[in-house]
Amino acid sequence: MDYLQKNTYAFRNAEIALAAGAFNAFTIIYCVQPLMPELSKTFNISPAITSLCLSLTTIAMAVSSIFIGILSDAWGRKSLMTIAMVGASVLTILAALSPTFNFLLVLRTLTGITLAVLPALAYSYLGEEVDPSILGYAIGLYLSGNTIGSIAGRVIGGTTTDLYGWRITFVIIGALSIVATLLFWRLLPSPRNFKRRPLAVGKLLRLMLSQLKVPSLFCLYCFAFLNIASFCAMYNYIGYLLTKPPYSLSETQLGWIFILYLTGTISSTYMGRLADKHEHKKLILITFGITLSGALITLHHNLWVIIIGMGVFTFGSYGTGSAASSWLTSLAKDKKAQASSLYFFFFYTGSSFGGTIGGVFWSDFGWTGVIGMISCYIFIGLVILLILSKIVPNQHENRHHLK
């Protein structure tokens, strides 16, 4: 295999390109989060209904991700990712013209279908092209690009909405995404180890279903669901808490709170490096503890303590994602595209579920209810981790076998 090696020109280009792609995708996905209180006012709808502008995007990504691996095996990774990124950018600009909330939901759903491509295939690309000894490091770098995009979407979204309104926000985000797409297309090295396969939908769907029957992989899919469900619930509804008295933050101030995602950049890269040297299950146990601690800290009434708690929560959540996705890529062996597609199906289904159900807990029980829901997700994750520890008792032997 002709793998990309660390500290080479091709490896750096690949990481920059994938980071640009992640910036594109995650800016578009999450730019609506700081807009949600404003959208609730504009269209006179409840927080739970407003959350659909994010939840429908992610559920569309979840369903689409099932088929992405199938199409990419026949059409190729880079070309499919590039086309999808262009489509998502254009749809985001069109969202600025939405006359009704329902029309906006249609555009956001179509956007989710196109956005499913890059996250699902980025892991496949890295798994096929990067030297296995630095795979965790490479995935950590890619996840840091996710973080930057998530921060940019929220900060730009909050600031521009405060200054110019939410419609101009969509135009600016779409224009930035087109620039990121051009950078991706120019820099990403053409796949060296990709082997094109005939388009056989029935056969590949059966293969994906067989992946669901692998207990170790199914446990990791559940991690994806629970981790992102907690994360979206936290960040969807913190805006409703902090824009109310006694905090009364503006959209700009709220948007800048999302700079806390930088802790995710640090965490994903750091945990990715550790995942190359230490057992994933121990790392996930630690990151679960960090995530739960951060969530509980946000129950304090002081604004600065809440912000610190969100930072701790974000560090733990991104650490879990980095360790779990690295573990999945190792265990999936030669079925990485299908495993990645299923991983992201669970990931974005969890995002939609947690993001919307969190609105019910917020409306009925306030912020305490949201944190209670998040805590339950984390405890379920701990039970699954215990089960996974029994299924994969010796991680190092598995790695040796894979190499």
Architecture of domain 9-189+208-402: Up-down Bundle (1.20)
Angle in degrees, CA 243, 244, 250, rounded to 5: 25
Query: Rounded distance, CA 133 to CA 143, Å?
Result: 18
Give the span between the Cα atoms of 335 and 333, in whole angstroms.
6
pTM: 0.72
pLDDT in tens, 121-166: 887 788 778 877 787 778 777 777 777 777 788 788 888 888 888 8
Q: 36-93 pLDDT, tens per residue?
A: 888 888 889 988 898 899 889 988 888 887 777 666 665 667 888 888 899 999 999 9
Regions in the chain scoring below 70 on pLDDT = 1-2, 69-76, 192-205, 207-208, 276, 333-337, 393-403
Length in residues, the chain: 403
Kind and range of the H or E run holding 298: none
Q: For the chain, give every domain's residue range.
A: 9-189+208-402
Q: What is the CA radius of gyration of the chain?
A: 20
